[in-house]
Amino acid sequence: MMLANILKQRRTELGLTQSNVASQLHVRRQTVSNWETGKSYPDIPTLVAISKLYKLSLDYMLKGDERYMNQVKKDYQLINQKKDGKWLNRAMLILLGLTLLPVLFTPFATTAQESKFIGIWVMTFVLLLMPVSYLKLKSLYQGDVTDLFVPKSMGLGITINPNHPLGFLLWLVLELVLLGFYILTILTPA
C-alpha cells in the first residue's frame, strides 16, 4: 500500500480532518492534502511526527512505497553532496590562500634560490588544488557526460567536464603535465 493511501486511511480511521492534522504537525492543510494524494511527501522529521500522531510504525508506513524510498534516497544524496561541497569549498579556499601566500614575498626575493623556493611553493599547492577542483566540479555537474566542455560554475568561460570520459583523461593529463614541470623545477639548479 502506498504511503498516500495509508495516511488518508489512518486519518479517517482516527476521525481527524486534514485541518486537525495540519495544525498538530504545524503545516498547511494543503500540505496534508498533497501527502494524501501523493503529490508530495513529508520529510523525515515530519514523517516521525505523523507516525506518533497516527500510532503507526515507520516500517509499516514506508514498506512498499518505492517512490517515497527513492525520494528519501535522493534527499540523502543531496545532503551528502552539500556536506562534501562544504568540505571541498574549505579545502579549495585554504589551498588557494597557501598558493597565493608567496606572492606577498616575491618582491623581497633577492636570490635565484629564493625565487625557486617561491616557484616550488606555488606549484606544490597548485598540484594539490587541481584534484580538489576536479572533485568540486564533479559534484557540480553530477553525472552529466554529454558535453566535454561545460560553462564555468562561477564567472565567464568554459571548463572541462570531469564526468565525461575524455574530460577525466584531460584532467589527468593536465595534472601529470604540472607534475612534470614540478619535478623539472625541483631538479633544475637555481
Contact between 55 and 37 under an 8 Å Cβ cutoff? The reply is no
Mean of all residue pLDDT scores within the chain: 87
Q: pLDDT value at position 9?
A: 94
Read off the pLDDT band of 74 (50, 70, 90): confident
Task: Give me the phi and psi of 149, to 5 degrees please.
Answer: -115, 135
CB atoms within 10 A of CB 155: 7
Structure confidence by residue, pLDDT tens digits, 12-53 = 999 999 999 999 999 999 999 999 998 888 888 898 999 999
Contact 187, 176 (CB under 8 A): no
Please indicate whether residue 13 or residue 147 has the higher confidence score (pLDDT). Answer: 13
> Tens of pLDDT along 85-136?
788 889 999 999 999 999 888 888 899 999 999 999 999 999 999 999 888 8
C-alpha distances out from residue 189 to 114, 116, 117, 120, 185, Å: 12, 9, 11, 12, 8
Least confident among 27-31, 45-49, 63-67, 80-84: 80-84
Q: CA-CA distances (angstroms) from residue 91 to 80, 128, 133, 154, 160?
A: 16, 10, 9, 17, 20
